[in-house]
Structure 1
Amino acid sequence: MSRVPGVLRWRPEISVETLVLCSAVFMLAAGNGRFWQAALAQRSWAEPATWGFSAALFVALSALYLLAGAAVATRHTVKPLLTVLLLASAAAACYSDRYAVYFDRAMLRNILATDLHEARELLGWPLALYLLGLGALPSLLVWWPRLKRRTPGRAVALRLAWLVAAAAVAAGALVPVFADFASLMRNHKEVRYLLNPGNVVAALAGNAWGSGQGPGGPRLPVGADAKFNAAWQQRVRPTLFVLVVGETARAQNFALNGYGRPTNPDLARRPVINFPQVTACGTSTEVSLPCMFSPWGRGRYDEGRILGHESLLHVLARAGFQVQWRDNQSGCKGVCSGLAQQQFNGAAAAASCAGGQCPDEVLLQGLEGAARDERGNLFVVLHQLGSHGPAYYKRYPAAFRRFAPACESEDLRRCTREEIVNAYDNSLLYTDYVLGALVDLLERAQATHDTAMLYVSDHGESLGEGGLYLHGVPYPIAPDVQTRVPMVMWLSPAFRRSHDIDEACLRRRAAQPASHDNLFHSLLGVLDVQTAAYERDLDLFDGCRMPAALHARASAP
């Protein structure tokens, strides 16, 4: 009995490098299911080459992880560092396995920008089990052994030897399979976003020091010369234009685009102009929102330039519009910086909002009062909660549970695809209702204003196609369901007359392809804002503005 305490106190003694190597092997083997599935896709395990390639890749990655870890770890930092990496790897593995999430810089920014209400829906027992099994328990093993002590000279010499050996092993493992490895990296670059925890570390570094960082100072001006053009001198009433930024609505599920379900009954009863072929700037709010409000868009995408400059809203405000951002989600991502903002969820949520999360109808509260304000021209942005997943069933009131049975779980893998689609379509049905109510409000506001509405979603959504869920897949490999978005416009008769819009022409133009790239220039064009930042070729209204004489004849009784 006297020996038992000594046995329990026994701890092995290992080197820092050995601890890093063991941790790397564990993370690669246990926390990278989706990576190995993607890297070895379309390979047969009956072929010896598959086994050779997978073994070589595993050895090379283990050596590279050792090389990276040993380059920065010390006796005093290695255990905390490995604990953080194990927990990060476990969390990334959870979301990769459950939703096929790719962790790039944009996805990490999405995570960091997610508010508490959104984050709660992505937390739960699956994440807890991953963190326990792949994070916490292995971390206990990391803290168990004692680390060998070395003299400074011997420590440097041995560390250099380990680094050289790791580099040699990585190169030696890859040489026999280099053709296969090069083909994988060239044709399937997206697999690197599945490699845990290297993907998380790379995303952090990219956002901290790379092009993904936000502006370090005041945003540079866009359209500094913006002003109302001469057409405004002929108008006797102010304009009220409402831009609705939808969330996670995909074009494929809009009935107006030919979807087999009646997801747009309210809009279908109104004289809206539908744009069925619209492409988004990005696959996440964090990317799409700044991009769609910039003059450069996806066609000339430069993340640093977009984040470092003002947006369309600042140009409109400079020209003379009263601009207001009304938000029921996680903020404007900088596009409304310095302008009037109103947040409806969270602490400022109305009493009717369950758990601090409001239905999108809340965005219309007080808007009619603003419409009665005749002091000037108003441009209002309504940022919806929309169809934000994975809890689609929380995005609509009970009265809109039309498609059943609907998935009522944040863990989408517990539901059938039919149940997921039912819940998602119910959320679109509710968005349709909110847009219909907005059109009704704007029709009533014609007593004092020329009114118009444009709805466009920020990005689409995957509902299980190809094993993908949610959104945020890197743009070059994103499926159409994440990049094709609905866009719908409603123009009051008074607005069409005042702004010289040929509706028949615009309907013909709407049938052609469009994108978020058109938003900046089209709104400047239709609202008659003159600035050098405007590009006529990207204006959807260009060519559909009636000459003055024709406009006079069209307006005559």
Structure 2
Amino acid sequence: MKTTPAVGSADTALGSRTIARLLDRRPLLGIEQLALLVSLFFSLASNSLFFSAATAHRHWNQPGSWLFAAAIFIAITAFQSAALMAVMNRWSAKPVLIVLLMTTAAATYYMNKYTVFFNSDMVRNVLRTDVKEAGELLSLNFCLHMLVFGVLPSILVWRLQLRRTPWRRALTIRLLSIAGALLLAVGAILLVFQDFSSLMRNQKEMRYLITPSNYLVSLARVVTADTETAGPKIPISEDAKLGAGWASRSRPMLFVLVVGETTRGDNWGMNGYARQTTPELSNLGVLNFPHVTSCGTNTEVSVPCMFSTYGRRNYDEKAIRRHESLLHIINHVGINTVWRDNQSGCKGVCDGLGQQFFDSHKDPALCDGERCLDEIMLEGMDDEIHKTKEGNLFVVLHQLGNHGPAYYRRYPSAMRVFTPTCDTADLSKCSQQQIVNTYDNGVLYTDHFLAKTIAYLKKQTNYDTAMLYLSDHGESLGEHGIFLHGMPYSIAPKEQTHVPMMMWMSQGFAHSFGVSQNCLEKHAGDAISQDNLFHTLLGMLQIKSKYYEKSLDLTAVCRAGSAA
């Protein structure tokens, strides 16, 4: 007897065969067609920030607005298509495109989420990001974004068949296609040249939103710059020597410079913030500087800059990275100089000097297996003092501070004062108030850490002691839809450039170095910047150097015998 298959089973089998046939299909394309399709994908899926910025304040009921939008869309697509055709062949096309698709998907996620501009500084910052920092940026939303905009398009590219063409004919087609794409791009720009040139001239930073061109061009610049600055640093310390005042000093000096991380001046209690985020320091009689601006908006720029002779006023990235830093001068005159790091290194400013890292320490009270709280850097300080055999010691403590977006991991539970908090690195899951609360708890912990550092210095009765704290850059916490930091300096909001700075000196230090604290208090409210750090420390420590500029020394007018 014959049996009739169930209708449902037949439908299922037919559906399975249909899906299998679809999966087996491998469209045949030429390199030129593939480059155009991928460029169209990038323009449609990866450049929403650029097109939103470029067409902002335009009225869509006017034909000119539509013409402008269409022209720049065509121009970007054509230019990037020409670039892809210039670097791809039948063997390299798929690997190149898959890498670009995955990288661009990751870039656009953070661009859209945090308003990130991929200029050279940001690319360098990304390249210096360690595994732990990168891990904190991962989330379910990121994985879903990567699946849709990275993995799936990559699978489609991988399954394509690339048309084989005799090389002479292929070369002719390629050259004509590149020429055609460039002509189309130029023609589109010429249609709206006046508006486009005005836009690029007045808002130069906008080009860092064109993806993937932004990070590719910036990466090339970073590699070129790093190649040019490789090798031994150019000395700036050769003429440096201690001033005459050192001959009459009776005790050695211990100076601690704390380089803060991602702490913004707006949320610093002593700067007049509505919340008291610096309760311990406020009771210690420290000298606070409320109007301080940073050299950059990320660590890779600010740290080398603040320790350099150039500063923001004469900013020259290559020169800064090629030359020795302030620390080399201090060490050269016989003051033992040590960099203690709880973050991502000294960015070249301590090359050749003593360095210690704490991010992998196992102290269960301060470390969670991945990161340690900043108090870990105070452990072992007695050993450093012992090594100097009662000589002069200059110590830099580089904080983990408020490094985002995982602000909730930057302080112990005892510092969870402002609630509710954002207990995730995915800031999109939290309200702005939760983010601010969590960030402020981190500032509260920095206050505690600095107070504890001062308490330690007070116990060193055999030394003249002092401490200076200066954050490297600020942070955006959702103002104007911007998060984190790293925006181009020319358009960066003040939240990313206004930083806290404070100073504490023992009576012995102030007396032996001739610094009047009462005088400094009168000038603490002046507008200053990280450019002052280099010259202020040379002046305070009475180090003579041809690079010293008295006008930038905050203590010069308040110091007996003010010449360095």
Instruction: Give the TM-score normalised by the residue count of structure 1.
Output: 0.95
2:292 maps to 278
SS at match of 2:403: coil
Q: Contact 1:328–1:383 (CA<8 Å) still a contact in 2? A: yes
Separation of aligned partners in 1, 2:511 and 2:389: 19
Over aligned residues, Cα RMSD in angstroms? Answer: 1.7
2:491 maps to 477
SS at match of 2:126: helix
Cα gap change, 1:255 to 1:357, in 2 (>3 Å): same
Q: Contact 1:329–1:385 (CA<8 Å) still a contact in 2? A: yes
Separation of aligned partners in 2, 1:419 and 1:201: 36
Would you say 1:522 and 2:536 are equivalent positions?
A: yes
Q: 1:26 aligns with which of 28, 32, 41?
A: 41
Unaligned runs of 5+ in 2: 1-13
2:313 maps to 299
* Shift in Å, 1:356: 2.4
SS at match of 1:249: coil
Separation of aligned partners in 2, 1:104 and 1:222: 29
Q: Contact 1:442–1:451 (CA<8 Å) still a contact in 2? A: yes
Q: 1:486 aligns with which of 470, 495, 500?
A: 500
1:498 maps to 512
* Shift in Å, 1:279: 0.9
How many positions carry a matched residue from both structures?
A: 544
Separation of aligned partners in 1, 2:369 and 2:516: 46
Would you say 1:253 and 2:288 are equivalent positions?
A: no
Cα gap change, 1:7 to 1:93, in 2 (>3 Å): closer
Q: 2:458 aligns with which of 443, 451, 472?
A: 443
SS at match of 1:356: coil
1:355 maps to 369
1:324 maps to 338
2:6 maps to none
1:289 maps to 303
1:486 is matched by which residue type in structure 2? P
Q: Contact 1:105–1:212 (CA<8 Å) still a contact in 2? A: no
1:555 maps to none
Moved more, 84-93 or 37-46: 37-46
Moved more, 488-497 or 500-509: 500-509
Q: How does 1:20-419 map to 2 (within 5 A)?
A: 20-209=35-224, 211=225, 213=227, 215-346=229-360, 348-352=361-365, 353-371=367-385, 374-419=389-434
SS at match of 1:375: coil
1:410 is matched by which residue type in structure 2? A
2:3 maps to none
* Shift in Å, 1:349: 4.4
2:5 maps to none
2:412 is matched by which residue type in structure 1? P
1:508 is matched by which residue type in structure 2? K
Q: Deviations over 1:324-344 (max 9, x none)?
A: 111110111111111111100
SS at match of 2:192: helix
Unaligned runs of 5+ in 1: 549-557
Q: 1:426 aligns with which of 414, 427, 441?
A: 441
Q: Contact 1:222–1:309 (CA<8 Å) still a contact in 2? A: yes
* Shift in Å, 1:546: 2.3
Q: Contact 1:24–1:62 (CA<8 Å) still a contact in 2? A: yes
Separation of aligned partners in 2, 1:397 and 1:213: 41
Cα gap change, 1:349 to 1:520, in 2 (>3 Å): farther
2:139 is matched by which residue type in structure 1? G
Instruction: Give the TM-score normalised by the residue count of structure 2.
Output: 0.94
SS at match of 2:560: coil
* Shift in Å, 1:50: 2.0
Separation of aligned partners in 1, 2:417 and 2:85: 57
Cα gap change, 1:507 to 1:374, in 2 (>3 Å): farther
2:481 is matched by which residue type in structure 1? G
SS at match of 1:276: strand
2:102 is matched by which residue type in structure 1? L
Separation of aligned partners in 1, 2:526 and 2:227: 35
Cα gap change, 1:233 to 1:140, in 2 (>3 Å): same
Cα gap change, 1:78 to 1:380, in 2 (>3 Å): same
